[in-house]
Chains A and B, each alone.
Chain A
Amino acid sequence: NAGVTQTPKFQVLKTGQSMTLQCAQDMNHEYMSWYRQDPGMGLRLIHYSVGAGITDQGEVPNGYNVSRSTTEDFPLRLLSAAPSQTSVYFCASSYQSQGMRTDTQYFGPGTRLTVL
């Protein structure tokens, strides 16, 4: 059971380049999310998914696309990278049991992205 995995661990892009950050989980969780972490700002939600084929925007979605074709995978796409997207990106997954008031999120190890 690998939990939540993210690739790559580090990436350097030039302004205007595109790339996909990969995220996979093997816990059969229905919910998956992407966050970015910036100094002094905590983590902010980019996009989230409540199941295969269903995604929605979070707090800071501009410049990012997502799709969820399977329960396991939730890739994050940067269509045209900008220096403002330099950050550490975390993927998370969770589920909410029937009758439970909340879920527990499991985070991946993160991808450190630098856009020059």
Chain B
Amino acid sequence: GNSVTQMEGPVTLSEEAFLTINCTYTATGYPSLFWYVQYPGEGLQLLLKATKADDKGSNKGFEATYRKETTSFHLEKGSVQVSDSAVYFCALSGLNAGGTSYGKLTFGQGTILTVHP
């Protein structure tokens, strides 16, 4: 089956620090990979995604590269802000033999990020 493993949290950083949140996966077939963000009291929002090997997803200064050889999709940001404080989820969407995902996601456990001024 499919699974996603994220680095243990919580992560606490000072403003302008460099951020890395590790994510590795196991999957049958060739999944698509996602990072979702959940701000306090809200639902999940898509942060970025990548659908094939070596694709780089990017948004709001965050980046992640689909590494098939290491089955990883690590999230990075060069300079975090207080407003980046949230819970970050790595997720994958597997395709069936017919190339359909059916909207089913497998999530990692989430990483709480707190950024201090």
Which residues does A use to contact B, with CB under 8 Å?
31-33, 35, 40-45, 48, 50, 58, 90, 92-96, 101-105, 107-110
Contacts and interface: CB of A to CB of B under 8 A. Distances in A.
Contact of B103 (A90, A93, A101, A108): A93
B103 A44 contact: no
B14 interface: no
B103 A31 contact: yes
A62 B50 CA distance: 32
B35 interface: no
B43 A102 contact: no
Interface residues of B, number: 28
Contacts of B4: 42
Nearest to B95: A101
A105 B103 contact: yes
Nearest to A109: B43
Interface of B: 4, 6, 32, 36, 42-46, 49, 51-52, 89, 91, 93, 95, 99-110
Nearest to B103: A31
Contact of B105 (A43, A93, A110): A43
B110 A42 contact: yes
Nearest to A41: B109
Nearest to B31: A102
A48 to B, nearest CB: 6
B52 to A, nearest CB: 7
A90 B89 CA distance: 14
B107 A48 contact: no
Contact of A103 (B36, B45, B52, B101): B101
Contacts of B46: 104-105
Q: Which 5 A-B pairs have the closest CB atoms?
A: A31-B103, A102-B32, A42-B107, A94-B103, A107-B43
6 contacts: A40-B110, A42-B4, A45-B104, A48-B102, A50-B103, A109-B43
A40 B102 contact: no
